[in-house]
Structure 1
Amino acid sequence: MNKNLIALAVAAATFSGAASAATVYSDDTSSLAIGGRVEARALLSENAKNENAPLLTQQTSNDVTDISRVRVNIDAKTQIADGVQGIGYFEREFKSDNANDENRYMYAGVNSDKYGQIVYGKADGSLGMITDFTDIMAYAGSVVGGSKLAVSDRTSNNLAYSGTFNNLTFKANYVFDGAAYNDTTGQKTNQNGFSTAAKYTVGDTGLALGVGYAQQKDQTAANNSVNQTSKQTFAVASYTVGDLYFGGLYKYGHRDATNLVTNDLTDSQGYEFAAAYTMGKAVFTTTYGFMKDERNTSGAYDELANAVSVDGTYYFNSNFRTYASYTYNMLDKNKVGKVAASDQVVLGARYDF
């Protein structure tokens, strides 16, 4: 059995085929590579027939939705000093509905073989490295990792640093206060703040540990006379032995008053467990995630996520794979509606280039 296939499965949710990117230009100082993926995905779930109806009264049907996508990236670098490169990276995603296409990455900066790299533009925040411990599925994403603050996720106006020193990887980023304004309220409508994270691999034991923190000022509330502040702390661990991988994640977050009349502060908690098993060219993964918000004044809480996902992926080679994924949703449909509490089945085929 090949332990490297587990590592490939764990990284699959993060990278867009960069490992198989083709170099289209190279000389003594510069190179340019093009990569990406073509991914056909069919989603079977309950979909609302009337999205304008009240949530709890929406009629639903079991429909197959085409959620296919294509990603294309350009990775460029040039030698500007001994052990130092100027770098640029761009990635665009195209979706089957043509409505949600986006530039996923767009940044440039400097990389040092010794000291790490610093970039500016639309780049990853720091907490993605932490949530990748459990974000290992072929389709279903991390329910807790998906709740990261905007400044700690992939975002623009972002100055980001990352460096690896022996077994330690450190990341830090700062998202600047932008110039966007709400024409009605005259207030800014963006988020700014920072995040930082560290991951440590304990020798050849198969054990890895990580911790991360993010803080953000939220300026999107039209009726709020002050900036809301949100904070999040993540802690993770993983263990790899033979063909088995285990990962665990815990998140605690705090958000300032969402209602200035009642001064209702909100705490959030979440945890997630993941496992993967490699058998020949097949990889089987599963995750369980739970997340809730708790209102400080009343002690009541809202379940935001409660789901188990399982999938199987078959790697024909490093470029082509197929997979099947199932998510069992345990949210109460009487509270969140049938659509939000529906199960999902996804069949996919992916070609990386």
Structure 2
Amino acid sequence: MMKRSLLALLIPALLATGGVQAAEIYNKDGNKVDLNGKINVGHLFSDDTGNDGDVSYARFGFKGETQIAQDLTGYAQWQYNFQLNKTEGADALSGDKTRLGFAGLKFGKWGSFDYGRNYGLVYDALAWTDMLPKFGGDSGYADGFLSTRSTGVATWRNSNFFGLVDGLNVALQYQGKNDRTGTDAVRRSNGDGYATSVSYNADSGLSVVGTYANLGRTQAQNNAARGEGDRAESWATAIKYDANQIYLATVYGNTHNATPISGGFANKAVNFEAVAQYQFLNGFRPSLAYVSSRGKDIENIGDADIVKYVSFGANYYFNKNFLAYAEYKVNLLSDNNPLGLANDDVTGVGLNYQF
């Protein structure tokens, strides 16, 4: 039977390129630097032109640590994304972007504090189902009220609750106002706000987490055709089992004025995701998932599906650094969905090298 520590080495989350895959390039006198990266070459097949074609990309980054005192450590992380499906000389809209960039201090049992571009705490729950071979992660979006990667966030995390309760983790986060302009003025702006996360990880492989975020909305967002209220609010709960080569996870949550749709935001969205995977010892990892997000009380529409699909897929790990993947997304949106969203099935295939 495969031990959980070996599984953690073999199956890194595809959205991250750090952790166990990092290549150590310097470690001396309390200073350590690890490089990490990935090249993902892939292709989508669909009758929807927006989900058809080459989707290859590369990511590169580093993690650094320096020992300042016995219980005080400085650390930093940076990661950049390069789109490989664009022409040479493509402009800034090519998709190249800084995904992460933050620095902070660890204070022993008192936890860590960092600032910069980092994951919002709502993702502490959403990450557990964001494990699909190609698709997934539909309940959050970048620069979206602390649901995934966000700019200008101050984060405090504490593991094992000050050393008193093994497996109990707490976190608090603050984000300042980002009043963007142009095409990002509505979708990617935010006012001042905060988020919190509480999780418990048992030795049996069973874990639970709850997250909550509440942020102000900007004037541009309040002036949009859809979405009312001065605050954007979201909460999510998740449970997972990760042991004995089995991975099961489900997430349920609500958002208010925080899920983007055409013309602004849904006044309310109900999100549900579930995934089941099994790791065979030969490297084969099949995956089955259901993902849905349903908007409520949308102006001039009422209730409508925003995301709804079933996914069948698999990863095949040649070793801990190289894998092949394939996934078929059965789109369950009806032909007459009132938001006019793409409702064609999509197939994704590709290869992934990471270190």
Normalised TM-score (structure 1): 0.83
Distance across 1 between alignment mates of 2:269 and 2:80: 33
Show the 5 A alignment for 1:215-226: 215-219=214-218, 220-221=220-221, 223=223
Specify whether residues 333 and 17 from structure 1 end up closer, same or farther in structure 2 by C-alpha distance, changes over 3 A only.
Answer: farther
Letter matched to residue 334 of structure 2: D
Corresponding residue number in structure 2 for 1:54: none
Against the structure 1 CA distance between its residues 343 and 351, is the aligned structure 2 distance closer, same or farther, given a 3 Å change threshold?
A: same
Q: How does 1:244-255 map to 2 (within 5 A)?
A: 244-255=246-257
8 Å contact kept, 1:206–1:239: yes
Letter of the aligned partner of 2:221 in structure 1?
A
Cα distance in 2 for residues equivalent to 1:265 and 1:93: 29
Letter in 1 for 2:116: G
Q: Indicate the SS of the match to 1:221.
A: helix
Q: Does the alignment pair 1:325 with 2:327?
A: yes
Aligned mate of 2:63, from 40, 64, 75: 75
Q: Which residue of 1 aligns with 2:306?
A: 304
Q: Please name the residue that 1:266 is paired with.
A: 267
**Contact 1:6/1:244, CA 8 A, preserved across alignment:** no
Deviation at 1:83, TM superposition (A): 2.4
2:120 — aligned with what?
Answer: 125
Contact persistence 2:122–2:235 (CA under 8 A): no
Higher relative contact order (CA 8 A, sep 6+): 1
Residues 255 and 180 of structure 1: is their aligned pair in 2 closer, same or farther, counting only changes over 3 Å? closer
Q: Where in structure 2 are there 5+ consecutive unaligned residues?
A: 161-165
CA distance in 2, matches of 1:17, 1:126: 18
Task: Provide the TM-score with structure 2 as the length reference.
Answer: 0.83
Q: Is the 8 A contact 2:321 2:354 kept in 1?
A: yes
Corresponding position of 1:21: 22
Q: Which runs of 4+ in 1 moved over 6 A?
A: 296-299
Change in CA separation of 1:135 and 1:7 when aligned onto 2, cut-off 3 Å: farther
287 and 36 in structure 1: CA distance in 2 versus 1, 3 angstrom threshold = same
| Whole-angstrom CA distance in 2 between matches of 1:310 and 1:84 | 46
The 1:64/1:250 distance shift into structure 2, 3 A limit, reads closer
Query: Highest CA radius of gyration, 1 or 2?
Result: 1
Give 3-state SS (helix, strand or coil) of 2:109's partner: coil
**Is contact 1:133–1:238 with CA below 8 Å preserved after alignment?**
yes
d(CA) in 2 for partners of 1:211, 1:317: 34
Match of 2:347 among 326, 345, 348: 345
Pairing 1:12–2:13 present: yes
Deviations 1:107-155 (A, max 9, x none): 1111233222111111111121211221111211232244994224211
CA contact (8 A) 2:10 2:319 kept: no
- Matched residue, 1:198: 198
Helix, strand or coil for the counterpart of 2:48? Answer: strand
RMSD: 3.1
Q: What's the counterpart of residue 42 of structure 1?
A: 43
Q: For structure 1, which runs of at least 5 residues remain unmatched after alignment?
A: 52-62, 259-263
* C-alpha separation in 1, matches of 2:117 and 2:69: 25
- C-alpha separation between the residues in 2 aligned to 1:292 and 1:176? 29
Aligned counterparts of 1:245 and 1:278: Cα–Cα separation in 2 = 8
